[in-house]
Amino acid sequence: AQSVAQPEDQVNVAEGNPLTVKCTYSVSGNPYLFWYVQYPNRGLQFLLKYITGDNLVKGSYGFEAEFNKSQTSFHLKKPSALVSDSALYFCAVKTGNQFYFGTGTSLTVIP
């Protein structure tokens, strides 16, 4: 069965500090990997994707993600967190024509 795991329900970080939101996956084949962000009462918004190539992917709003094939991980990172980054973050994989999402990590950036 395909699965995406986000081991932390909640991540708190001080403003200006680096942040990491973790994601691991277990799917067959070579999946496409994504991060999406959800603000309150809104739909999900695309942040970045990895399909092939460089293991470090840069995306919107200064976010980046590191793909590690041996650990089947795709962690989201940002060098310096902003209060406005506080939101719900979802990791997702696409294999074949189907998408699988993690359970989400709530990020709170403390001023």
Partner 1 sequence: EAQVTQNPRYLITVTGKKLTVTCSQNMNHEYMSWYRQDPGLGLRQIYYSMNVEVTDKGDVPEGYKVSRKEKRNFPLILESPSPNQTSLYFCASSFFGNEKLFFGSGTQLSVL
d(CA 48, CA 12): 22
Amino acid at 55: N
104 touches partner 1 (CB under 8 A)? yes
d(CA 106, CA 87): 6
Residues 37-96 that bind partner 1 (CB under 8 A): 41-46, 49, 51, 90, 92, 94
Q: Which stretch binds partner 1 (CB under 8 A): 10-18, 21-29, 36-44, 77-85?
A: 36-44
How near is the Cβ of 66 to partner 1 at its closest, in Å?
A: 19
Residue 28 or 70 having the CB closest to partner 1: 28
Residue 43 or 111 having the CB closest to partner 1: 43
d(CA 9, CA 107): 9
d(CA 26, CA 29): 10
